Amino acid sequence: MLNPFKRLIDLCWRFLVSPEKYLRHIGVNIGKHCFISTREMTGEPYLITIGNNVQVTRGVAIHCHGGENSIRKEYPDFDAFGKVVIEDWAYIGAFSQIMPGVTIGEGAIVAAGSIVTKSVAPHTVVGGNPARVIGTTEEYIQRNLKYNLHCKGMTKEEKRKFLLSLPDDKFIKK
């Protein structure tokens, strides 16, 4: 049985520190200047490496194993694992699932809600279930450059005032 004091400390780590601090505490290897807003990691967080300047958004889950229980009837001690690597400057969209053994290449973009079952080449945009190549990051930039509003670095209030002052043609439309 788990010591109640240790359980309380674990809960404090899970909910009272930033997601990045929590993930470092449980063993995820994280580079510098990352923005991480998820706490959803596998039971083997030490098999996950996140590079520098990576953004992992809300609800993303990273898995290093899965499905073993259904096999254990025939192979009681079955366990299979895959390391996950997210290279520098990658972006992982909200509620994506990164499966065991996957590498997300440098500068790659994973669209929100994607299920990534295969490694993603550097500077590639993927999305869907299973995730498929949508294009390159350069193509993404070219499609969206006209919508760049240059507001990175503004305070929340400055950004709010600025965005609410703009005409509709300045925003992305689908």
Residues 57-73, mean pLDDT to the nearest whole number: 89
Taking only the tens place, the pLDDT of each residue in 112-158 is: 999 999 999 999 999 999 999 999 999 999 999 999 999 999 999 99
Q: Rounded to the nearest 10 degrees, what angle do helices 19-26 and 4-16 cross at?
A: 140
Task: Determine which one of 25, 33, 65, 123 is catalytic.
Answer: 65
The reported pLDDT for the residue numbered 165 is 97
Is 65 an active-site residue? yes
Residues 43-64, mean pLDDT to the nearest whole number: 96
Identity of the residue numbered 15? F
pTM above 0.75, yes or no: yes
Q: Which domains does the chain have, with CATH numbers?
A: 18-135 (2.160.10.10)
